[in-house]
Amino acid sequence: MNASAQPLLRLDDVKKVFYTDEVETHALSGIHLDIRNGEYVSIAGPSGCGKSTLLSILGLLDSPSEGGYWLNGKQVSDLSLSERARIRNREVGFIFQSFNLIGDLSVYENVELPLTYRGMSSADRKKRVHDALEKVGMAHRAKHLPSQLSGGQQQRVAVARAVAGEPSIVLADEPTGNLDSTNGEAVMELMRELHRAGATICMVTHDPRYARHADRIVHLFDGRVVEEEQGQLAVKAEHELKESGFEVA
Amino acid sequence: METLLKDLRYAARMLVKHRGFTAIAVLSLALGIGVNTAIFSLVNALLVRPVPVVREQGSVMWLRAPASYPDYLDYREQAQSFDGMAAITGTSEFSLSRSDSEPELVKGEFVSANYFDVLGVGASRGRTFSEDEGRTPAPVVVIGQRLWRTRFNSDQFIVGRQISLNGLGHTVIGVAPENFTGTEIGLDRELWVPLSMQPVLNPPEATGFVGGGEVGRFDERNNHWLAVFARLKPGVAREQAGAELSAIARHVAEANTGRVDAETLRRVQLLRMSGGMDPRDQEEALPIAGIVMAVVALVLLIACANIAGLLVARAAVRRRETAIRQALGASRPRLVRQLLTESVLLGVLGGALGLLLALWVNDILVSYARATPLAALDLSLDYRVLVFTLAVSVATGFIFGLAPALQASRIDIVTALKSEDALGRASSPRSRLRSVFVAAQVTLSVVLLVGAGLFIRSLQNAHAIDPGFRVDNALTVPINLGLLRYKATDGRNFYRELLARVLAQPGVERASLVRFTPLGFSYAQGQVVAEGQAAQSGEEGTSVGFNMVGPGYLGTMGTPLVRGRDFTEADREGAPRVAVVNESLAETLWPGEDPLGKRLSFDRTKGPFLEVVGVARDVKYRSLGEREHPYVYQPVLQSYEPKMTLVVRTAGDPRAIAGAVREQIRALDPNLPVADIRTLGEQFDLSLFPARVAAWTLGGFGLLALVLAAVGIYGVVSYAVAQRTREIGVRMALGARRGDVLRLVMGEGLFVVGLGLAAGLLLALIATRVVAGFLYGVGTTDPLTFVAVPLVLGAIALAASYIPARRATRVDPMVALRYE
Ligand SMILES: Nc1ncnc2c1ncn2[C@@H]1O[C@H](COP(=O)(O)OP(=O)(O)O)[C@@H](O)[C@H]1O
Ligand SMILES: [Mg+2]
User: CA B697, CA B30: separation in Å to the nearest integer?
Assistant: 17
Cα dihedral sign for B491, B494, B499, B505?
A: negative
> Do B324 and B397 reside in the same domain of the chain?
yes
A141 in any annotated domain? yes
Span B350-396, pLDDT tens digits: 999 999 999 988 888 787 766 666 666 778 888 889 999 999 999 99
Taking the CB of residue B410, how many other CB atoms lie within 10 A of it? Answer: 13
Mutate to test the interface with B, among A98, A106, A128, A147 (most CBs of B within 10 A): A98
Question: Same structural domain for residues B511 and B565?
Answer: yes
- Residue predicted with more confidence, B99 or B117: B117
Q: A156 in a domain, yes or no?
A: yes
* pLDDT tier, B419 (very low <50, low <70, confident <90, very high otherwise): very low
A61 to B733: CB separation less than 8 angstroms, yes or no: yes
Contacts of B156 (CB under 8 A, 6+ apart): none
Nearest CA to ligand 1 atom 13: A27
Cβ-based contacts of B424 with chain A (< 8 Å): 102-104
Q: How far is the CA of B191 from the centre of ligand 2 (A)?
A: 91
A61 Cβ contact partners less than 8 Å away, ≥ 6 residues apart:
A88, B732, B733, B812, B813, B814, B816, B817
Q: Could you tell me if residue A12 is inside a domain?
A: no
Same domain, B395 and B498: no
Whole-number Å distance between alpha carbons of A141 and A122: 19
Q: What confidence tens digit (pLDDT) does each residue in B288-301 have? A: 788 788 878 888 88
Report the amino acid identity of residue A21: D
DSSP characters over B599-636:
EEESSTTT--EEEEEEEE-----S-TTPPP--EEEEEG
* Domain co-membership, B705 together with B815: yes
Residues in chain A with CB shorter than 8 Å from the CB of B815 are: none
- Mean pLDDT along residues B704-722: 79
Given this model, what pLDDT does residue A239 score? 56
In angstroms, the separation between the Cα of residue A18 and the nearest Cα of chain B is 13
pLDDT at residue A128 is higher than 60:
yes
Confidence band (pLDDT; 50, 70, 90) for B100? low
Q: Residue A129: inside a domain, yes or no? A: yes
Q: Is residue B672 part of a domain?
A: no
The residues, ordered by sequence, that sit 6+ positions from B758 with a Cβ below 8 Å of its Cβ are none
A41 Cα to the center of ligand 2, angstroms: 16
**A238 pLDDT exceeds 70?**
no
Instruction: Say yes or no: B435 and B311 in one domain.
Output: no
> Does residue B560 form part of some domain?
yes
Q: What is the dihedral of CA B57, B61, B67, B72, to 10 degrees?
A: -80
- Residues of A near B (Cβ–Cβ under 8 Å) read 52, 55-56, 59, 61-62, 81-82, 85-86, 88-90, 94, 96-104, 113-114, 117-118, 145-147, 151, 154, 161, 173-174, 177-178
Amino acid at A97: Q
Contacts of B727 in chain A (CB under 8 A): 100, 102-103
Do the domain assignments include residue B117?
Answer: yes
Each residue of B36-47: pLDDT tens digit? 999 888 888 877
Q: What b/e readout covers A148-182, taking b as 16+ CB neighbours within 10 angstroms?
A: ebebbbbbbbbbbbbbbbebbbbbbbbbbbbbeee
Residue A47 forms part of a structural domain: no
**Ligand in nearest proximity to the CA of B817:** 2
**CB spacing of A103 vs B420 below 8 angstroms:** no
Average pLDDT (B570-576) is 91
Categorize the per-residue pLDDT at B258 as very low, low, confident or very high, splitting at 50, 70 and 90: low
Q: Considering CB atoms only, which of B420, B730, B734 is closest to A89?
A: B734
The verdict on residue A36 lying in a domain is no
Q: Where are the beta strands (DSSP E) in A36-90?
A: 40-44, 66-71, 74-75
Burial category of A63 from C-beta neighbours within 10 Å (exposed 0-12, middle 13-18, buried 19 and up): middle
Among chain A residues, the shortest Cα distance to B421 is held by A147
Q: Is A18 in the pocket of ligand 1 (CB under 6 A)?
A: yes
Domain closes at, from B214, B244, B274? B274
* Short-list B415, B402, B412, B416, CA closest to B318: B416
Lowest mean pLDDT among B73-82, B565-574, B724-733, B811-820: B811-820
Write phi, then psi, for A109 (nearest 5 degrees): -65, -35
Instruction: Give the Cβ contact number of residue B539 at 10 Å.
Output: 9
In a domain, B736, yes or no: yes
Q: Which of B242, B274, B306 is the last residue of a domain?
A: B274
How far apart, in Å, are the Cα atoms of A201 and each of A91, A185, B309, B706?
12, 17, 45, 54
Please provide residue A15's backbone torsions phi and psi, each rounded to the nearest 5 degrees. Answer: -120, 145
The answer, yes or no, to whether residue B427 has pLDDT greater than 50, is no
Last residue of a domain, one of B221, B248, B274: B274
Encode pLDDT of B309-323 as tens digits.
778 777 766 776 777
Query: What pLDDT is stored for residue B345 in this prediction?
Result: 93
Is B324 found in the same domain as B414?
yes
Dihedral angle sign, alpha carbons of residues B440, B442, B446, B448: positive
Using CA atoms, how far apart are residues B605 and B541, in angstroms rounded to an integer?
A: 9
Strands A169-173 vs B162-165: parallel, antiparallel or unpaired: unpaired
Domain that holds residue A129: 98-166
Q: What is the mean pLDDT of residues A121-145?
A: 93
- Do residue B237 and residue B158 come from a single domain? yes
> Are residues A81 and B738, on separate chains, in Cβ contact within 8 Å?
yes
Instruction: Assess whether B337 and B478 both reside in one domain.
Output: no
pLDDT of residue B275: 64
Nearest to B686 by CA among B434, B373, B439: B373
Structural domain includes residue B664? no
Nearest CA-CA distance, residue B732 and chain A, Å: 7
The answer to whether B422 contacts A88, with C-beta atoms less than 8 Å apart, is no
Q: Is residue A244 part of a domain?
A: no
Q: What was the pLDDT predicted at B525?
A: 83
Range in B138-142, B236-240, B689-693 the model is least confident about: B689-693
Residues B495 and B577 in one domain: yes
Residue B504 DSSP symbol: T
Q: Are residues B147 and B260 in the same domain?
A: yes
For the cut 70, the answer to whether the pLDDT of residue B415 exceeds it is no
Angstrom distance (rounded) from CA B801 to CA B763: 24
Give ∠ CA A200-A202-A208 in degrees, rounded to 5.
Answer: 125
At B782, the pLDDT band (50, 70, 90 cuts) reads confident
Asked whether residue B658 is domain-assigned, the answer is no
Going by the DSSP 8-state scheme, the letter that residue A5 receives in this structure is S
Could you tell me the maximum CA-CA distance found in chain A, to the nearest angstrom? 59
* Chain A nearest-CA residue for B819: A98
Distance CA B44, CA B289 (A): 10
Q: How far apart are CA B658 and CA B640, in angstroms?
A: 25
Residues B476, B678 contacting (CB under 8 angstroms) = yes
A88 vs B contacts (CB less than 8 Å)? 732-735, 813
- Tell me how far the alpha carbon of residue A19 is from its chain's centroid: 26
The rounded distance, in Å, linking the Cα atoms of B244 and B74 is: 12
Alpha-carbon radius of gyration of chain B: 33
Query: Which pLDDT does position A115 carry in this prediction?
Result: 92
Min Cα–Cα distance to chain A from B740, Å: 8
Which residue's alpha carbon is nearest to atom 1 within ligand 1? A18
Question: Could you tell me if B123 and B194 lie in one domain?
Answer: yes
Angle, nearest 10°, between helix axes A107-116 and A122-136? 130
- Residue B411's pLDDT band (boundaries 50, 70, 90)? low
Number of domains in chain A: 1
Question: pLDDT, tens digit, for every residue of B212-235?
Answer: 544 567 877 777 888 899 999 998
Contact A146 B422 (CB under 8 A): yes
pLDDT confidence tier of residue B420, bands split at 50, 70 and 90: very low
DSSP secondary-structure letter at B46? I
- Report how many domains make up chain B: 4
> Coil, strand, or helix at residue B160?
coil
Per-residue model confidence (pLDDT) at position B347: 93
The chain-wide mean pLDDT, for chain A, equals 87
**B410 and B297 within one domain:** yes
> Which of A89, A98, A174 is facing B735, going by the closest CB pair?
A89
Contact indicator for B125, B178 with CB cutoff of 8 Å: no
Under a CB-based contact definition with an 8 Å cutoff, are residues B560 and B616 in contact?
A: yes
Chain B CB contacts of A205 under 8 Å are: none
Q: Which domain holds residue B225?
A: 57-274
Print burial letters for B543-577: b (CB count within 10 Å at least 16), e (below 16). Answer: ebbbbbbbbbbbbbbbbeeebbebbeeebeeeeeb
Residue B602 pLDDT more than 90? no
Residue B726 within any structural domain of the chain: yes
Ligand nearest to the CA of A223: 1
Asked if the model's pLDDT at residue A13 lies above 90, the reply is: yes
Is there a domain that residue A184 lies in?
Answer: no
- What are the CA-CA distances from residue A163 to residues A51, A56, A190 (Å)? 22, 18, 11
